[in-house]
Amino acid sequence: MSALHLLLVGIDGLRLDLATEERAPHLRGLIARGASTSMTMPVPTISGPGWATLLTGASHAEHGVVDNTFVGSRLAGIPDLLSRAFFADPSRTTFAAAAWPPLVDPVGVGPVIHTRDEQRRAERHRVIVRDGETYGYRTTDAEIADFAVAGLFAAGPDVSFVYWSGVDEAGHVHGARSDEYAAAITRTDAYLGRLLEVVEHRAAAGERWLVAATTDHGHVDVGGHGGGEPEVVASFVVRAAWNAGLDAWPASIEPAELTPRLLAALA
């Protein structure tokens, strides 16, 4: 039996209740194909601590990230999902692509995803960085989608993380109930659909794939997050598999459980 490939998709600031079938057919298709599990994100509901927990399995207290400055971070000593997958099996290849620099950029604050220069030089680990804070996520998310489609199609990495933040940007600027937020969901869902086409293509050749999608927080209706409002702390994990089964998960898990559970699926 071939090894299982894992693709984790991060959609920053997405409210699942607003990602309707009309707006997000590919995400809803994942749910229909597989399963959806709820999570409640701890306060503060900010991207830095949220993604640090989701991508490492460490609590806020353990990783020390309290905001988006990453001051006090202990992430250098806490391996992320991709690193743990590689060190469990050094034959694995890994891929990460994001336009929010703290997640993947080796220069500056962070990164949450370890740089692993030795594996990068050996072409076992590839990192794509864009700067959505400077150039806008509508532009850089599209670039990330292009790179991710090319990377997954050409190499079929064993473990990948692809992240988009245009939904969060629209939520901040226009609010979660705005037409702009809805349009950002639809754009991002289209990016997801392109990745799923690659997965379908590779699965047709016999590869086994697990695709998961999650978010770090939601938004209040008028836009914004950071507190403990129900629509802000509400998160999810959507999972679907090709040529493989899904592990049984409870209806709700803790955010720190995500990385260990995904690693268990790879074992």
Distances (CA, A) of 179 to 100, 166, 182, 262: 23, 13, 5, 34
Instruction: Please name which of 248, 252, 253 lies closest in space to residue 265, comparing C-alpha atoms.
Output: 248
Up-side HSE of residue 163: CA atoms within 13 Å toward CB? 30
Q: Is the dihedral of CA 115, 51, 257, 25 positive or negative?
A: negative
Q: What pLDDT score does 248 carry?
A: 96
Q: What pLDDT score does 219 carry?
A: 99
Q: Which residue has the tokens 């960085």?
A: 129
Burial 84-123 (b: 16+ CB within 10 A, else e): bbbeeeeebbbbbbbbbbbbbbeeebbbbbbbbeebeeee
pLDDT (tens, 9 = 90+) of the chain, 267 residues, equals: 789 999 999 999 999 999 999 999 999 999 999 999 999 999 999 999 999 999 999 999 999 999 999 999 999 999 999 999 999 999 999 999 999 999 999 998 999 999 999 999 999 999 999 999 999 999 999 999 999 999 999 989 999 999 999 999 999 999 999 999 999 999 999 999 999 999 999 999 999 999 999 999 999 999 999 999 999 999 999 999 999 999 999 999 999 999 999 999 999
Q: What pLDDT score does 108 carry?
A: 83
- For the entire predicted model, the pTM comes to 0.97
Neighbours of 22 (CB within 10 A): 10
* CB 225, CB 257: distance < 8 Å: no
Q: Which residue has the tokens 């990192």?
A: 127
Query: What is the C-alpha separation between 134 and 36, in angstroms, rounded?
Result: 34
Domains of the chain in sequence order:
4-266 (3.40.720.10)
pLDDT digits (tens, 9 = 90+) for 48-96: 999 999 999 999 999 999 999 999 999 999 999 999 999 999 999 999 9
* CB 52, CB 112: distance < 8 Å: yes
Q: What pLDDT score does 36 carry?
A: 98
